[in-house]
């Protein structure tokens, strides 16, 4: 398995232009999602878990009631990689 390469700032900004709603927070890709209630938020988190597992890439998820906050980075690479942008794109589709 090849290791993911950390993206440059220019590459990150280029990728962000096609990742609706995602920003950079604490050196990681970040997005917050709001749902009608806790059950919808938790169901979404379950979808994200399945997507992440299929890519063998696991996000930081935080949930309070109807809000899900997600941070993405590749710890082995020390920052944001194409694995993060790929997962962010799939998460947007799920949302």
CB-side neighbour CA atoms (13 Å) of 82? 4
**pLDDT (average), residues 6-27:** 95
**pLDDT (average), residues 47-58:** 93
Nearest 5°: CA angle at 17, between 72 and 52?
25
Q: Using 50, 70 and 90 to split pLDDT, how confident is the model at 37?
A: very high
For residue 1, is pLDDT > 70?
A: no
């Amino acid at each position: 398995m090849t290791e993911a390469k950390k993206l440059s700032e220019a590459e990150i900004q280029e990728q962000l232009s096609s990742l609706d709603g995602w920003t950079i927070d604490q050196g990681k890709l970040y997005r917050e999602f709001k749902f009608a209630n806790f059950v919808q938020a938790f169901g979404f988190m379950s979808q994200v878990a399945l997507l992440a597992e299929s890519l063998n890439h696991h996000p930081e998820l935080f949930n309070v009631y109807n809000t899900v906050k997600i941070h993405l980075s590749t710890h082995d690479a020390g920052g944001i990689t194409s694995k993060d942008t790929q997962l962010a794109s799939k998460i947007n589709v799920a949302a």
